[in-house]
Structure 1
Amino acid sequence: MSAGQRLRLVLVLGSLIAIGPLTIDMYLPALPDIAVDLHTSSAAVQLTLTGTLAGLAFGQLLIGPLSDAVGRRAPLLAGIALHVVASVLCVLAPSITVVGVLRLLQGLGVAAASVVAMAVVRDLFSGTAFARLFSRLMLVMGVAPILAPTLGSGLLRWSDWRGVFVALAVFGVLLTAVASFGLRETLPVAARRRGGVAETARVYASLLRDRTFVGLVLVTGLAMAALFAYVAGSSFVFQEQYGLDEQEFGLAFGAGAVGLIAATQLNVRLLRRHPPQRILVTALVTGTVAGLTLLTIAATGFGGLPAVLATLWVVLAAAGLAMPNAPALALSRHGEAAGTAAALLGAVQFGVGALAAPLVGMLGTGIVAMAVVVAGGMVAALAVLFLVVRPARLGEVTQPAVAVAVH
């Protein structure tokens, strides 16, 4: 694959993956406004985020095996269409209950883009090469969480929160064109899995019997829980507790995303000298220390907002190093069922995230509640890495054969 083809593949797949962060993050600045407009509580509004993450988790369990059976393109295009329809209906939603149901459907649609993009990467790459390309993808998709709250804040200047969902619908339509014309089928007919529900259950059972795979999936999910605790709590913490306006919140949220993206690109360089398992261990140790420091700052008030932002930046940077490497190590073990393995990985990621978001809401809307879940996610991820995965037993990952998937 030439450098130009690789760049084109990154842009196409990055666009697909970006719809997830945009759907999750773009309406964050509007959460307080939604609570007021629909006469509901902040906890109820945070549950709409949980609905999106739950849809992402459940949808991937369905779409992953489907993409292994019928190919990558058809489930992808159907999922994006569902996302567009749900986004349009959100504009018309009369209550927080309806918004919650529609956000669940949005998540189901986004799941197709997430799992298919991951499966396409695994169709073409494995091991260290997978981690490198995934790091590049995180650069492209990382622009989304930086821009999403800022875009949402900009829309709120001339529209109410419903305008955010108009923008998401438009993006879904554009993404349909990108997927239709920019991505070829990467799973040959001869490589597709048959057997229906029974075969799907057998493959999932096989994956779940692989202790190392399950451990790496849990590590990824717990690291994502720390990230989603920040996503769920940040708008209330920064705007209500620290008094930032919508635009200032967008900048603060974007600064954290810059830390995550910078770490993913540093990961590409680190992989030239170090194996992914060593980077993963270092990242989680660093993230755990930073998470516990954040909890201490939150409990004592030491350093104020600057200390909170600086410590969060380190946590997010640690997540940016962990997230490309844990999936690369996990999926390298099961290239024969890339879609199903990617689906299980994604389902755990967003399923644990779906639990983290309401947990923050139940504990409160302040910095302590958010810090407890952020630190807890990092501590748990590190514990699973050493007690279940046991990094010394991972060995070296394999190098890939490479195909071409772009026009």
Structure 2
Amino acid sequence: MTVGTEQAAPRTVRGRTVPDGVWIGVLALLTAVAPLATDMYLPVLPTVATELGASASAAQLTLTAFLVGLAVGQLVIGPLSDSWGRRRLVLAGTVLLFVACLASAVAPAVAVLVVARFLQGFGGAAGLVLSRAMISDRTAGARTAQLFSLMMAINGIAPVIAPVIGSSLGGVVGWRGIFVVLAGLALLMLVSSLLAVHETLPAPARTSGGVRRTFADVGALLRRRRYVGYVLAFATSFSMMFAYISGSPFVLQQTLGLSTTQYALAFGTNAAGLVLGNIVSSRLAARVAPRRQLVVAVGGLVVLCAALLVVVLLGAARWPVLVLLFATLATLGFVMGNSAALATGEVRDRAGTGSALLGATQFGLGALVSPLVGSSATAMAVTMLTAATLSAVSLTALTRGATAPR
């Protein structure tokens, strides 16, 4: 097998050639489940609690269950794909996602909804973990970083439109209707995958050995210092973003006094900043090495989050907070794609397992961060600064001596 080159696998599905643009677009759609299933759902959480007779904490547990499902699903599906191949697991996971969305729509109690949300996350994890693995199968170096950033830029449209869609649908079809819409999205993902996603890991390149081999692979990857450093830089940066996502409904509306419409506009603008950062990073990939972009961007995150904390402690003036949040999300766009590309670049021989650990750490930390933020602007700013600092420390301490692939 020629690992990490664009000739690693055929580009055809059932004898039809699939253009690269279509292939990347479908992979981006497969990863859209996480922001859509999270952000469309946020505006209706209070309604869910009321209609199901549950507490606010129990309603928030449905969000946590989804994130745990994403983490566990990636840990299971990623290593399996190194043995079974990528495509069949993408299809199976998307079918599970579809069924779980329908189950969520008819859930009679919050406990049933928690289980259905976990299964949503588990099924949706297939698209997340295997899209990264498939790109890693076919590309290398700066090209990988470019495609990761481009895919995340496309995927970044999801959090721009999700709160608006969620707010609008919540008033028309209710929270159950939102899950019907998500089921429709899952069906679209399934059809698109059948038509455009080809197998990128040929049979001769697959591993064998079952569960014992999986555990051995995980242990081997955790001993690769640079891989662990890039994974932690990626995951802690994501947890910084999730601190913002979980805290923003309270901070922007209660502390800054934004209306529901103004909040949706501000949230969408900040998400657009994230998209913009990814697009610029992708365009720069051919001229500026991914590692160099990453180092500069992580340093920028520490400075911006420190400034945000100072502004919050001084009284949380509306415009300085909004400007700093936009700048932080735009800078984060330079971190996510490059750190993911550099991490997978360290483990091309076990791309599925490597992508699984990356995603599981990402959403595992995200699930832990959510309850730490609460409704406090100070807690949100402190959590974001802590995450940015940990990202910088991980990058500095564990990836020294790494080359800057082009």
Does residue 44 of structure 1 match 2:58? Answer: yes
Paired residue type of 1:395: T
Equivalent-residue separation in structure 1 for 2:186 and 2:260 (angstroms): 25
For 2:105 and 2:144, locate their aligned partners in 1 and report how far apart those are by CA, in whole Å.
38
Check the 8 A contact 1:10/1:140 in 2, yes or no. no
**SS of equivalent residue, structure 1 residue 161:** helix
Kindly provide the CA deviation profile for residues 82-109 of structure 1, in whole angstroms up to 9, marking residues without a partner as x: 1111111112223333322221111101
Amino acid at match of 2:355: A
Deviation at residue 182 of structure 1 after TM alignment? 1.2
1:129-184: per-residue Cα shift (whole Å, max 9, x none)? 10001111012111111111111111023122221111101111111100111111
Letter in 1 for 2:382: V
Residues 226 and 346, structure 2, Cα contact 8 Å, conserved in 1: no
User: d(CA) in 1 for partners of 2:212 and 2:254?
Assistant: 50
Q: Work out whether residues 256 and 316 of structure 2, in 8 Å CA contact, stay in contact via their aligned partners in 1.
A: no
List alignment gaps of at least 5 residues for structure 2.
Answer: 1-5, 12-17
Tell me the equivalent position of 2:357.
344
1:229-277 CA deviation, whole Å, 9 max, x = no partner? 1111222333344444443322211111111110011112322322111
Q: What is the match of residue 307 of structure 1?
A: 320
> Aligned with 1:184: secondary structure?
coil
- 1:42 Cα shift? 3.6
Distance (whole Å) between structure 1 residues aligned to residue 258 and residue 41 of structure 2: 16
Aligned to 2:237: 223
- CA–CA distance in structure 2, aligned partners of residues 69 and 225 of structure 1: 30
Counterparts of 1:269 and 1:358, CA distance in 2: 36
Matches of 1:344 and 1:170, distance apart in 2: 29
Q: Given that residues 153 and 247 in structure 1 are in contact (C-alpha distance below 8 angstroms), is that contact kept between their aligned partners in structure 2?
A: no
Tell me which of 368, 371, 383 is aligned to 2:381. Answer: 371
Q: Identify the residue that residue 142 of structure 2 maps to in structure 1.
A: 128
In structure 1, the partner of 2:14 is none
- Cα distance in 1 for partners of 2:259, 2:307 equals 26
Q: Which amino acid aligns with 1:396?
A: A
Structure 1 gap ranges (5+): 399-407
Residue 324 of structure 1: CA displacement? 0.8
Equivalent residue in structure 2 for 1:289, among 285, 303, 306:
303
Q: How many residues align?
A: 392
- Say whether the 8 Å CA contact 1:29–1:152 is kept in structure 2: yes
Are 2:348 and 1:335 equivalent residues in the alignment? yes
CA contact (8 A) 2:231 2:340 kept: yes
SS of match in other structure, 2:107: coil
1:21 aligns with 2:35: yes
User: 1:321 aligns to what?
Assistant: 334
Aligned position for 1:171: 185
Report SS of the residue matched to 1:397: coil
Aligned partner letter, 2:166:
G
Deviation of residue 227 (structure 1)?
0.8
User: Residues 32 and 158 of structure 2 are in contact (CA less than 8 Å); yes or no, is this contact kept in structure 1?
Assistant: yes
Query: What residue is the counterpart of 2:253 in the other structure?
Result: 239
Identity, % of aligned pairs? 41
- Work out whether residues 119 and 338 of structure 1, in 8 Å CA contact, stay in contact via their aligned partners in 2: yes
TM-score by length of 1: 0.92
After the TM superposition, which of the residue ranges 30-39 and 199-208 deviates more from structure 2? 30-39
8 Å CA contact 1:87, 1:169 repeated in 2: yes
Amino acid at match of 2:304: A
Which residues of 2 match residues 120-199 of structure 1 at below 5 A? 120-199=134-213
Structure 2 SS opposite 1:194: coil
Aligned partner (choices 58, 65, 77) of residue 91 of structure 2: 77
**Partner Cα separation in structure 2 for residue 229 and residue 267 of structure 1:** 23
Mapped to 2, the partners of 1:197 and 1:349 lie a distance apart of 23
Residue 395 in structure 1 maps to residue 395 in structure 2: no
Letter in 1 for 2:92: A
